[in-house]
Amino acid sequence: MKIVKLTMTMLLAVSLIACGDEQKKDENESKVSIGSQTEEREATPENTEESSDDELGLVELSLEGSDQMKFNKNQFKVKAGSEVKLTLTHTGQMSKEAMGHNFVLLNQGVDMMEFGERAAGAANNGYIPEDAGDDIIAHTDMIGGGESASVTFKAPEKGEYDFICSFPGHVALMKGKFIVE
């Protein structure tokens, strides 16, 4: 029992260190390696997918969109400068025309709702405004039920970014935070 207790205490200590701030980065002894690169969790609205920094370089993130007009995650956390590959899968049955989903990562300062309105007018371009320019950091193609699409990009500088689905009306429900640490 004593050993189990000790292990628990150590785990707690490790968790606390892992949650500590960036200054820990320079102290080799306190560097904690977190087994897998990405972590999948239950499909709840409060889901977060968090990547740890490791030597693999490419951070693979997954996101699902459903016929209920919902993403299965509302937050991602990655390290600044990571190479990110995000794969969006449409787990529903509905067509791209009726229930299309994409992943659009917006730059800071871009208003989600305003962008959504502009995107709604860009049906002929997969609901990506032709003049989006720097407003978009990365986006996938628009997909329908049973399809998936990936996009690879370099994580932008530290900060919080919004991600949305730019299909008309979907930004109201399909949105989340992309946090770069």
Binder to Co ion among 73, 90, 118, 170 (CB under 5 A)? 170
Q: Which residue is nearest to Co ion (CB)?
A: 165
Stretch touching Co ion by CB under 5 A, among 2-10, 32-40, 109-117, 172-180:
172-180
Q: Is 103 in the site for Co ion (CB under 5 A)?
A: no
Q: Could you tell me which stretch among 9-17, 47-55, 107-115, 159-167 binds Co ion (CB under 5 A)? A: 159-167
Q: Which stretch binds Co ion (CB under 5 A): 1-9, 20-28, 127-135, 167-175?
A: 167-175
> Which is nearest to 114 in space by CA: 135, 97, 91?
135
Provide the minimum distance between the beta carbon of 63 and Co ion in the complex, in angstroms, as a whole number: 11
- DSSP, collapsed to helix, strand or coil, labels residue 119 as helix
- Rounded CA-CA distance 110/137 in Å is 11
In 3D, which of 145, 127, 137 has the Cα closest to residue 67? 145
Q: Are 162 and 113 in contact (CB under 8 A)?
A: no
Nearer to Co ion (CB atom), residue 115 or residue 167: 167
82 versus 102: smaller Cβ distance to Co ion: 102
Q: Which two tokens mark 74? A: 């509302």
The number of residues that bind Co ion (CB under 5 A) is 5
* DSSP-derived 3-state class of residue 74: coil
Tell me the helix, strand and coil percentages in the chain, rounded to 5: 25, 30, 45
The CB-of-109 to Co ion minimum distance in angstroms stands at 23
Amino acid at 174: M
Residues that bind Co ion (CB under 5 A): 101, 165, 167, 170, 174
